[in-house]
Amino acid sequence: MDLNTALIVCAGCAALAAFFGWRGARPWDLRGGPRMLPYGFLMLVAATAAIFAGVYALDLSGLIPAKP
């Protein structure tokens, strides 16, 4: 994976984490029924993927040297 792809993945995962955080923080609508997606867990997974992609992008750019 090259640097541009890593940055796109990082931005996409960060956007998903923000979206899932927004959806999870909305008040419950009892008329609409139960929530069918675990937004808190999905936010955690997306944020973790964004962090890993960001660290990988920093490694590709040479700002963080790879450990042998």
- Mean pLDDT along residues 27-51: 91
What are the two backbone dihedrals, phi and then psi, of residue 32, each rounded to the nearest 5 degrees? -85, -10
Contact between residue 15 and residue 41 where contact means Cβ atoms under 8 Å apart: no
- Average pLDDT of the residues of the chain: 91
If DSSP states are collapsed to H, E and C, what string results for 2-58?
A: CHHHHHHHHHHHHHHHHHHHHHHHCCCCHHHCCCCCCHHHHHHHHHHHHHHHHHHHH
The predicted model scores a pTM of 0.84
- Mean pLDDT along residues 21-36: 87
Structure confidence at residue 68 (pLDDT):
64
More confident residue, 67 or 7: 7
Contact between residue 49 and residue 13 where contact means Cβ atoms under 8 Å apart: yes
| pLDDT 10s digits, 40-60 | 999 999 999 999 999 999 999
